[in-house]
Structure 1
Amino acid sequence: MTELLSVVSTLLVVSGGLFVLVGGIGLLRFPDLFTRMHAASVTDAMGPLLILGGLMLEAGWSLATAKLLIILVFFLFTTPTATYALANAATLAGAAKKSSGTPEEKDS
């Protein structure tokens, strides 16, 4: 049973890390502010969920699990709120969304 928990925990931590990595790549590759914010917010919410879930499985029932759960709840409340506040501030500041097409097409 402990081997199964260890494998599941490892899979969760690795998949969370890959999820954050793909989001970071999307953050660099997407063309405008709002799509970059979307990539960052989705991965910032889902990545820690997977990573902390794996760590909770590895920790078992302990004080560390309770602390990790509190951190997870904090992440799940603050990430969408911060993303909304940032998007709202960008909209109010006049950050215009680019139309479809790549940046190279727009320069020519």
Structure 2
Amino acid sequence: MTVLIEWTAAAVIVIASFFLLVGALGLLRLPDFYMRLHAPTKASTLGVGGMLIASMLVAATQGRAGVPELLITLFVFVTAPVSANLMSQAALHLKLPSRAPVPEDAVPERRAD
């Protein structure tokens, strides 16, 4: 049973590492602040959560409950979206420009008065 849990934890670590890599690449490659903010907050939350889930699996095989890992997971899942929201509101307040294309239906039609 321990070997199965170890392989499962290893698979979860590989998947979580993929999400962390995607978040890091998004942070490096995306063109403006808003896009850079989106990639790491989503991907790294999943990556850190996956790492902590793997740690909880290993802790269960050692006879621990994994409560610290659970608390860290809850803390990360609560604070990452809140901090991203606050940073994006600050960027909007400072009127930081975005390079994202504006959809056609979002632009109001100009009337000839």
- Shared fold per TM-score greater than 0.5: yes
Alignment correspondent of 2:70: 69
Q: Report the count of equivalent residues.
A: 99
Higher RCO (CA 8 Å, separation ≥ 6 residues): 1
Q: Aligned in 2, Cα 1:66/1:97: closer, same or farther, shift over 3 Å?
A: same
Matched, 1:30 2:30: yes
- Per the normalisation by structure 2, the TM-score is 0.82
CA distance in 1, matches of 2:99, 2:72: 36
Contact 1:13 1:55 in 2 (8 A): no
Runs of 4+ in structure 1 displaced over 4 angstroms?
Answer: none
More helix as a share of residues: 1
Kindly report which structure 2 residues correspond to 1:48-87, keeping only aligned pairs within 5 A, or say none.
48-60=48-60, 61-63=63-65, 65-87=66-88
Alignment correspondent of 2:12: 12
Cα RMSD of the aligned pairs, angstroms, is: 1.2
Contact 2:13 2:54 in 1 (8 A): yes
Which amino acid is 2:74 matched to?
Answer: V
CA distance in 1, matches of 2:72, 2:59: 14
| Identical-pair percentage | 29
Shift in Å at residue 22 of structure 1? 1.5
Alignment correspondent of 1:104: none
Q: Aligned in 2, Cα 1:58/1:78: closer, same or farther, shift over 3 Å?
A: same
CA distance in 2, matches of 1:45, 1:81: 12
CA distance in 1, matches of 2:43, 2:99: 22
Alignment correspondent of 1:106: none
CA distance in 2, matches of 1:77, 1:44: 13
